[in-house]
Structure 1
Amino acid sequence: MSNKNTNAPDGQSGLNRQVLRDDIKEFLIDAILRGKFQPGERLTELTLARQLGVSQAPIREALGHLELMGFVQSIPYKGTYVRKHSPEQLCDIYTVRAWLEALAGHLAAPRLTEQDLQELAELVERMVEHARTGNAHDFYKSDYAFHQIIIRVANNSMLTQLFDMLQYAYWTFASTLLLDHDLVYLATRHYRVLEALRKRDAELAAQVLREHIEELIAPVATQTAIHKEP
């Protein structure tokens, strides 16, 4: 564990001993996404329990859930570490995500309500606003929320589970491989997705969402292939 000052959520000096496992899980996710715990860093139950003012049992349960979601990995006889993805792994994961998003778009497009579309439109505007002010963290939060709505409306439990498992890979991809991208460009790309969804055309929505993801991984995949050449 590093010497970083990893504080409990704002307004709390420590998590109450009766706190639910999910509260601890969300706290740890936020700490990882904000960089308080770095990829490859070890997370120990005892240290976390002391920091959060809880017993080790809910910490252990929360870490187990985070492993299922891809945030951490448990190595026998060594401990639990924040997962560290290579560019090659991220490209593989995003290839899968492209097709999951396509399926989600296909299922969601005919089911979207006017309220759903309004929420999606508001999130696109938030993305544009955050992009113009250079607020990358809130930009990616709005981006993720945009895609979460599509997954929710698709109403497929397995699809939702798989999407949740890719959450950490999404943030890692965004914070490492998209650093050189123009945030405003990344934000405005969502207008095309929104227009496709407004038409409630399942095939069109699937195609646009797949292309939306594949466009991001193409240059990374090309660069990765170059590095693999002897």
Structure 2
Amino acid sequence: MATRTTHLTRKVLRDDVHDALLEMLMTQQLAPGQSLSIDSLARQLGVSPTPVREALVELEHTGLVTRAALKGYTVTSPLSARQMAELIDARQVIELAAVERAVRTPGIVESLKDVHADHEAVIRRYGLDGPAGVREATQDQILECFRADWAFHEAIIRSCGNRFIQQMASILGANVHRMRQTMDVGLTDAMDALHEHAEIVAAFEGGDPATAVEAMRKHLELVSGRAQAEAANPE
């Protein structure tokens, strides 16, 4: 029984460290290209090096950190144009499959309306529907806005009824945020994304899988287009 308790305590600690490091990465407290010292992170978080090492192993699978022999871990550099195109392609493969399967799931429309309302509330709360709010947004506000946006997509993925699609989608969230950090469009397109999500909700209300898939396809293509435009015309 003591062994079981010890195992659970260690797992909870590792999960807490993982979440703490993930937030530091997503708010750029750990900047792209930065070398990561396990001992230093352990001291900063007030834990032993073991859960930090275990959390970094998990984060490596998301692509947010990389590990090189004899050099240790480094925060991954911003996405290249090719990596961004591959990410959009992966999102289309996974998310369109999820949409097709989730359309007729009982309660899905209500769930989408709820997360859509939450997303809009975050945008209005911080004034992110106007240029002044975007310019003055803090990293925490950026992260909250991203999470509210991604929660819409997660609601569909969770409702698709296929655990393997859900598993494949589990690493998308962090990489989508990484794309937004790379292109700096995480807030400037907040209202565009909100309107496109509304069109997806309307398509789900109609109950036709093909229409819902097309609405999501259009949204992902527009996200890609905005990212490419930002890359071509950086401020």
Report the TM range for the smaller structure's normalisation: 0.7 to 0.9
Match of 1:145 in 2: 151
AA partner of residue 170 (structure 2) = D
Give unmatched runs, 5+ long, in structure 1. Answer: 1-15, 226-230
Taking the aligned partners of 1:124 and 1:17, their CA distance within structure 2 comes to: 34
Q: 2:224 aligns with which of 205, 210, 217?
A: 217
Q: Which structure 1 residue ranges, 4+ long, deviate > 4 Å from structure 2?
A: 16-19, 219-225
Quote how far apart the aligned CAs of 1:147 are.
0.8
Is 1:167–2:161 an aligned residue pair?
no
Is 1:193–2:200 an aligned residue pair?
yes
Match of 1:183 in 2: 190
Quote how far apart the aligned CAs of 1:220 are.
4.6
Match of 1:80 in 2: 73
TM-score, normalisation: structure 2: 0.79
AA partner of residue 95 (structure 2) = E
Indicate the RMSD between aligned Cα atoms, in angstroms: 2.5
1:129-148 C-alpha deviation (Å, 9 max, x unpaired):
25324354322121011111
Contact 1:91 1:221 in 2 (8 A): no
Taking the aligned partners of 2:110 and 2:222, their CA distance within structure 1 comes to: 28
Is 1:100–2:94 an aligned residue pair?
yes
Q: 1:69 aligns with which of 49, 62, 66?
A: 62
SS at match of 2:30: coil
Is 1:202–2:197 an aligned residue pair?
no
1:26-46 C-alpha deviation (Å, 9 max, x unpaired):
111011111100111111211
AA partner of residue 73 (structure 2) = T
Taking the aligned partners of 2:122 and 2:205, their CA distance within structure 1 comes to: 19
Is 1:109–2:109 an aligned residue pair?
no
Taking the aligned partners of 1:121 and 1:224, their CA distance within structure 2 comes to: 28
Quote how far apart the aligned CAs of 1:118 are.
3.5
Match of 1:89 in 2: 83
Taking the aligned partners of 1:53 and 1:18, their CA distance within structure 2 comes to: 16
Of the structure 1 ranges 107-116 and 39-48, higher mean CA displacement relative to structure 2 is found in 107-116
Match of 1:155 in 2: 161
Taking the aligned partners of 2:122 and 2:201, their CA distance within structure 1 comes to: 13
Q: 2:34 aligns with which of 22, 41, 58?
A: 41
Taking the aligned partners of 1:17 and 1:120, their CA distance within structure 2 comes to: 33
Cα separation, partners in 2 of 1:141 and 1:46, compared to 1, 3 Å: same
Contact 2:96 2:217 in 1 (8 A): yes
TM-score, normalisation: structure 1: 0.80
Of the structure 1 ranges 166-175 and 55-64, higher mean CA displacement relative to structure 2 is found in 166-175
Taking the aligned partners of 2:15 and 2:207, their CA distance within structure 1 comes to: 35
Quote how far apart the aligned CAs of 1:117 are.
3.4
1:157-199 C-alpha deviation (Å, 9 max, x unpaired):
2222222212222112112324384432232221111111222
Taking the aligned partners of 2:31 and 2:45, their CA distance within structure 1 comes to: 18
Match of 2:5 in 1: none
Taking the aligned partners of 2:152 and 2:58, their CA distance within structure 1 comes to: 24
Match of 1:125 in 2: 120
Of the structure 1 ranges 216-225 and 135-144, higher mean CA displacement relative to structure 2 is found in 216-225
AA partner of residue 103 (structure 1) = A
Match of 1:6 in 2: none
Contact 2:115 2:148 in 1 (8 A): no
